[in-house]
Amino acid sequence: MGRGGHHTTQDRLDGFARLTVPGATTVSVTDPGTMVAYHESAAEVAGYADPTANARYATRWDPGTRTIITVPAAVDPPTWQQLGLQVTGPGGAAVPVVTYRSSARYDLEPSRAGRAVATFQATTAGPYRVSTARATEAGATLAVGQDIARSLVLTRLGAVILGLVTVLVAVPLAVVTYQARSRTHS
């Protein structure tokens, strides 16, 4: 991913609401949709530092790529149930929390890595209270924001589609140009 994409992802991550586990924070939702809770901890960082732990693959932080990684890792994050994660919507009602169905991870700086652990639907704009009751590791934080893995896939998909359209337009244009030049030289 280019530098522009890196800054976009970095800015998105920096803009996430964060809370120390255990703890609580308010997430201001302006664009309703699926919100994701990412568990950030030293264990997540260590998962990148030792790619052969537990005979499972992980990816080291590479300053050259600085990208989101979606791979199995050496360390399993706690579940949202283990964290005691709860979300309250703008009206004060409990919002259902579900397990994140993939293994989206990010590692944008050597000291911060995270993995998606849960999602919830923010159906209306407004403040959502996110809280955790239990810590599974000292110094862990929870970052809450939109699904960056999905936006990265959509960005890459857009680039692929643009590339295909360019090829589909360029090839017939080159053939027509070649045929036109062949006729003028005959």
- In angstroms, rounded to a whole number, what is the distance separating the alpha carbons of residues 131 and 89? 12
Query: What is the model's pLDDT at position 183?
Result: 75
Query: Residue 45 in contact with residue 35, Cβ under 8 Å?
Result: no
The answer to whether residue 66 sits within a structural domain is: yes
Report the domain count for the chain: 1
- pLDDT of residue 155 exceeding 50, the answer is no
The answer to whether residue 78 sits within a structural domain is: yes
Residues 6+ apart with CB under 8 A from 48: 58, 59, 60, 61, 73, 107, 113
- Distances from the Cα of 165 to the Cα of 154, 171, 172, 182, angstroms: 16, 10, 11, 26
Confidence of residue 20 (pLDDT cuts 50, 70, 90): very high
The answer to whether residue 172 sits within a structural domain is: no
Confidence of residue 175 (pLDDT cuts 50, 70, 90): low
The answer to whether residue 55 sits within a structural domain is: yes
Confidence of residue 152 (pLDDT cuts 50, 70, 90): very low
Domain span at residue 19? 3-147
Query: Residue 82 in contact with residue 62, Cβ under 8 Å?
Result: no
pTM over 0.75: no
The answer to whether residue 183 sits within a structural domain is: no
The answer to whether residue 166 sits within a structural domain is: no
Confidence of residue 73 (pLDDT cuts 50, 70, 90): very low
The answer to whether residue 186 sits within a structural domain is: no
